[in-house]
A and B are shown apart, each in its own frame.
Chain A
Amino acid sequence: MTAGHLLAASQASSTGSSVTFWILAVISGVAGIGMVLARKAVYCAVLLAVVMLSLAILYAVAGAPFLAFVQIIVYTGAVLMLFLFVLMIVGVSARDSLRENIPGQRLGTAVAAIALFVLLLLVVGHAAIGPAGPATARYGTLNVQGLAQLIFTRYVFPFEATAALLITAALGAMVLAHRERLTPRPSQRDLSRERVASEHPTPLPGPGVFARHNAVDFPALLPDGTPSQLSVNPVIARASGGRLGHEPPSPGQLPPGNGTGADPGGAETEREEARP
């Protein structure tokens, strides 16, 4: 293989990597803008996953295979899953309000963003960013060994510091997420007493029974045709923003609050009509 072959091969690979770069740059830029604009937090998380995955591929292209895998495992795998878990707890349906609490915030943000962009572009433009170095084995097969050599020799003190940081973070998260139980745990006797004392000693109706769908947010239909609000978990009812099922029943149709189907007025009128 001559030098000309090598040059041609390196040029071909650089063309391929630049094509990869531009495709991924467009994808990650569009996903980033979409993340800022998306109103639902779940969409933001998914778009952030797109950005992170494309950055992982870019790391692989740039000769950092170890970082590419760490990016996928740590960021997309762990951090984003953590985000999604917290999102499920904190409330998926929570949307940003469109009201501006600080007057002129959007305008100020736009001006500041353009200023920051121009500033960074000037800095980057003035910096002498040279071409990529030769693609040695340190950016390929020997990448992990090279990183290990650096981490355990020159950067061993920061490495130990990150160990302390991780332990502190784990402890801090446990302390913050821990909730002290202030009242005694209700025993089985208490629970059964409470149940008998309530108006419903029997199990509550399941969702979707006798309704047209069996989704968990669809209230069951009682024999007289009224939807039973008792059949839907209040947490789900709150998450769906009060609109239960796909066809919200009209307010007059709903028995207020209890939803036991005991609608004496309606039943009476029906009986009255049926009599003659």
Chain B
Amino acid sequence: MSPANFVGLAVVLFVIGAVGVLVRRNALVIFMCVELMLNAVNLAFVGFARMHGNLDGQVIAFFVMVVAAAEVVVGLAILMTIFRTRRSASVDDANLLKY
């Protein structure tokens, strides 16, 4: 394995996730794309950890996973609340703070 390959794949997945966040309207799918971006960064961390010969990168990736899990829990709860009041999961419909 070579860390450069890992970082390259991480770049590709990160850009795919960013495109998904920008293009999609369903808030759940946007969340999934954010998860994809976090995973891409984790992949780069693991590759760098292997390159440097220590485990610090893996520890950081572990922390990223913990934070991502917490973020998903709160985010999905917010989504549920919005859906309960607005009957929609589309980000275009939540526009009360727009003006």
A residues at B contact (CB < 8 Å): 14, 17-18, 21, 25, 28-29, 32-33, 35-36, 41, 44-45, 48, 51-52, 55, 58-59, 61-64, 66-67, 70-71, 74-75, 78-79, 82-83, 86-87, 89-91, 94, 96-97, 101, 105-106, 109, 112-113, 116-117, 120-121, 124, 127, 129-134, 136, 138-139, 143, 146-147, 150-151, 154-155, 158-159, 162, 165-166, 168-170, 172-173, 176-177, 179
Residues of chain B with a CB closer than 8 A to A113's CB: 15, 18-19, 22
Q: Are A106 and B23 in contact (CB under 8 A)?
A: yes
Which interface residue of A86, A94, A96 has the most chain B CB atoms within 10 A?
A: A86
- Pick from A91, A120, A143: contact of B15, CB under 8 Å: A120
- Pick from B13, B47, B65: contact of A29, CB under 8 Å: B13
Q: Are A70 and B24 in contact (CB under 8 A)?
A: no
Q: How far is the CB of A215 from chain B (nearest CB, A)?
A: 26
Residues of chain B with a CB closer than 8 A to A101's CB: 25, 92
B residues at A contact (CB < 8 Å): 1-9, 11-20, 22-26, 28-29, 31-33, 35-36, 39, 42-43, 46-47, 49-56, 58-59, 61-63, 65-74, 76-81, 83-84, 88-90, 92
Chain B, interface SS category: helix
The distance in angstroms between the C-alpha atoms of A132 and B28, with both chains bound, is 37
Given contact pairs A124-B11, A133-B51, A48 touches B32 in the complex (Cβ within 8 A): yes
A-B contact count (CB 8 A): 229
Q: How far is the CB of A20 from chain B (nearest CB, A)?
A: 8
Q: How far is the CB of B66 from chain A (nearest CB, A)?
A: 5
Q: Are A48 and B36 in contact (CB under 8 A)?
A: yes
A-B contact pairs, 7 of them (CB 8 A): A18-B5, A33-B16, A41-B26, A113-B18, A117-B15, A155-B59, A165-B67
The distance in angstroms between the C-alpha atoms of A67 and B6, with both chains bound, is 15
Given contact pairs A58-B6, A129-B51, A133-B53, A36 touches B33 in the complex (Cβ within 8 A): yes
- Pick from A35, A86, A116, A158: contact of B36, CB under 8 Å: A35
Q: How far is the CB of A179 from chain B (nearest CB, A)?
A: 7
Q: Are A147 and B55 in contact (CB under 8 A)?
A: yes
